[in-house]
Structure 1
Amino acid sequence: MTSINTHEIDIVKAKTSKIDSVDFENLTFGNVFTDHMLVCDYKDGAWEKPIIKPYEHFMIDPSAKVFHYGQAIFEGMKAYKDENDEVWLFRPDQNMERFNKSAVRMAMPEVPEHIFMDGLKTIVDLERNWVKKGIGNTLYLRPFMIAVGSGVIAQPSTQYRFMIILSPAKSYYQGEVKVIIAEHYSRAANGGIGAAKAAGNYSAQFYPQKLAQEKGFQQIIWTDDATHTKLEEAGTMNVFFKINDTLYTAPTSERILDGVTRKSIIDLAKSEGIKIEVRSVLVDELVAAAKDGSLKEIFGAGTAAVVSPIVGFQYKEHYYELPKIENSTALQLKDKLTKIQYKLADDKFGWTVKV
């Protein structure tokens, strides 16, 4: 291994790379990881110096609070390579800001910018060969933090580990996406942690999603916990509805994640003159629009999926097929967004950051 000492980050390089053994044309999302990872520990009320080192397993006490009380948060981001072999991040400041909001909500320490942002840029630069050119090819970035302090008393940990791992990726969802509207289960509740990217939010979805998949649906459109009348998110994505010529999406709240792709889609739509409203959409409103033909599109938006068109939905045992639209708003917005991310179009918003 080769060791490098920088002012802020120590780097220990792997002796050899496994990149040549990876089939980049046949990747399963999130299953292959690059040669290195970033690790930074929080102890005695302070962050230690980060280190980038070979990707490896690590030891952790069985009584670590992450196992018993679920103190764990994460972010999902991507790096892109343009036609000139330059590598770019997309709105990383928004991910860092949301990460620290999640940390506060979970009674965890905020990660300083010089650790989060400098660490992110440094490890992506080190692994730039893992970022392949071409739309659809990305390097998925997973910053996360877990409580590693020992002891099973029900209180916040005093020790934490912040890490960044990287995974080459292609598109997240394959094929058509059909959804079922939740009538009983909820993703999140008022006063809860739905607006945080906390690990427990996602594990709580697994059982309802399993039930939906057994019925032939890929995802669930979540409804509000109190009345199950308001449409909120689609699986792990924010969700948009096009009724007549207007695009609708729910406002962020304690129950709804402030998605980076979501806010980018909203800004793009406005800049393109697409009529868009941020307000709650009712289940009855959606069903009525599906029946009278005014419902044109539903699509999910998120970092992993980018934009994922939905072909139909089920509610109370009735299935509603959406019209097939060649040049849909969803695909238009996805095209414009990805062209900005891959530097194939002018970034008038200032969203992209060069590594």
Structure 2
Amino acid sequence: MESQTIQVDHCAVRKEKPKSDQLDFGRIFTDHMFIMDYSDDLGWHDPRIEPYQQLSIDPSAMVFHYGQSVFEGMKAYLTAEDEIQLFRPEKNMQRLNNSNDRLCIPPIDEKFAIQAIKKLVSVDSDWIPEAEGTSLYIRPFIISTEPYIGVAPSLHYKFIVILSPVGAYYKEGINPIKIAVENEFVRTVKGGTGEAKTGGNYAASLKAQEIAGKKGFAQVLWLDGVEKKYIEEVGSMNIFFKINGEVITPELNGSILEGVTRNSVIQLLKYWDVPVVERKIGMEELQQAHHDGLLEEAFGAGTAAVISPISQFTWNNNDSLIKDGKTGAIAKRLYDTLTGIQYGREKDPFDWIVKVEKGSKIAH
């Protein structure tokens, strides 16, 4: 696979690019996309970059009926020196293959996938916004395309990568959010697809999020699907608590997605000699820690927001304000350090950064 040549078909007319202050997340897409096909007889083949366009897929394609799909989310960043950087893309491709395995999708060559993403970002490098906090969102995904409405793994797939310029997640600095603990609905259960990044998990989360949003909450705090007492994720992010000097995050248990930012936060905390542990943590323990004045911070961690401080959680109609609703010192330090590495403002002691050449420097 690594020896395959990626064919590039440049679009004849370039789209007009939006201004940096007019970037609406996930609604604007660049000029090109990457596509690679899979068939049972040929394996993954025909890697190519084409003008961004609509797909022509049979109405009986299995993805529409049985949800066999996976995706990833990552970003390309522009440094002050006009260099393009990816943040730990190998972790995203490893996770994509983990999701593939759970959904019975054939694995991709991870190194080749990164090569393809770098090539696509290079071709559309002039789409990377330059304003503070902006970036180019990268969405790789795989869908089952075999025209068959029998319940079985598909024999045909498409691996596609699209790009979208996105604005700063926090336009006016980090603002702590209020979250609602979800007691009725569950996101997933151990043995389900929670540890895979597949669309069905997100579809299952919409109802609870809709209800919470109408009540003025920014996110839902998900509990385990069996006992409904152990904390799992917040919205589509992993969650961390600082209790009595120790940072705690729910341990991976088969229903929690292993976030790239989560992994990075844990590495940074250990690097700083901040006590950090992965273990079960229940709502009763959290509420008791708050009652005893030991709950110092809470924050979510994910690609879009990087770090999202939590100011308040509401459980069984009881509101618990965390440290006067202000951003905690650990959350702020993590946000500043991670974004500093991503944008090239800080040193990268972990070799997390992968450089991408600008399109003008690469022969098409």
Under TM normalisation by the shorter chain, which class is it?
Answer: over 0.9
Instruction: Tell me, yes or no, if structure 1 residue 154 matches structure 2 residue 163.
Output: no
Secondary structure, in 3 states, of the residue corresponding to 2:34? strand
Which whole-Å CA distance do the structure 2 matches of 1:162 and 1:7 have between them? 15
Instruction: Tell me, yes or no, if structure 1 residue 189 matches structure 2 residue 205.
Output: no
The equivalences for 1:97-246 within 5 A come to 97-172=94-169, 175-246=175-246
Instruction: Tell me, yes or no, if structure 1 residue 349 matches structure 2 residue 345.
Output: no
CA drift at 1:134 = 4.8
2:5 is matched by which residue type in structure 1? E
Instruction: Tell me, yes or no, if structure 1 residue 290 matches structure 2 residue 286.
Output: no
1:104 is matched by which residue type in structure 2? D
**What do the CA deviations read for 1:147-166 (whole angstroms, capped 9, x no partner)?**
01011111111100000000
Which whole-Å CA distance do the structure 1 matches of 2:284 and 2:338 have between them? 31
Secondary structure, in 3 states, of the residue corresponding to 2:21? coil
CA drift at 1:217 = 0.8
Q: Decide whether the 8 Å contact of 1:135 with 1:342 is kept in 2.
A: no
CA drift at 1:184 = 2.1
After TM superposition, the structure 1 stretch with the greater mean CA deviation from structure 2, 289-298 or 264-273, is 289-298
| 5+ long unaligned stretches in structure 1 | 1-5
The count of corresponding residues between Structure 1 and Structure 2 is 349
**What do the CA deviations read for 1:86-133 (whole angstroms, capped 9, x no partner)?**
101110000001001100110011111354111101001111111233
1:106 is matched by which residue type in structure 2? L
Instruction: Tell me, yes or no, if structure 1 residue 85 matches structure 2 residue 86.
Output: no
| 5+ long unaligned stretches in structure 2 | 357-364
What is the percent sequence identity of the aligned residues? 41
- CA RMSD for the aligned pairs? 1.5
2:352 is matched by which residue type in structure 1? W
After TM superposition, the structure 1 stretch with the greater mean CA deviation from structure 2, 59-68 or 131-140, is 131-140
CA drift at 1:37 = 0.4
- Taking structure 1 as the reference length, the TM-score comes to 0.95
After TM superposition, the structure 1 stretch with the greater mean CA deviation from structure 2, 322-331 or 26-35, is 322-331
1:250 is matched by which residue type in structure 2? P
Corresponding residue number in structure 1 for 2:5? 8
Q: Decide whether the 8 Å contact of 1:173 with 1:308 is kept in 2.
A: no
After TM superposition, the structure 1 stretch with the greater mean CA deviation from structure 2, 128-137 or 250-259, is 128-137
Q: Decide whether the 8 Å contact of 1:221 with 1:233 is kept in 2.
A: yes
Corresponding residue number in structure 1 for 2:50? 53
Corresponding residue number in structure 2 for 1:306? 306
2:79 is matched by which residue type in structure 1? D
1:55 is matched by which residue type in structure 2? Y
**What do the CA deviations read for 1:322-349 (whole angstroms, capped 9, x no partner)?**
1144652101111011111111111110
Q: Decide whether the 8 Å contact of 2:176 with 2:327 is kept in 1.
A: no
2:66 is matched by which residue type in structure 1? Y
Which whole-Å CA distance do the structure 2 matches of 1:9 and 1:58 have between them? 19
- Taking structure 2 as the reference length, the TM-score comes to 0.93
Q: Decide whether the 8 Å contact of 1:19 with 1:34 is kept in 2.
A: no
Secondary structure, in 3 states, of the residue corresponding to 1:281? coil
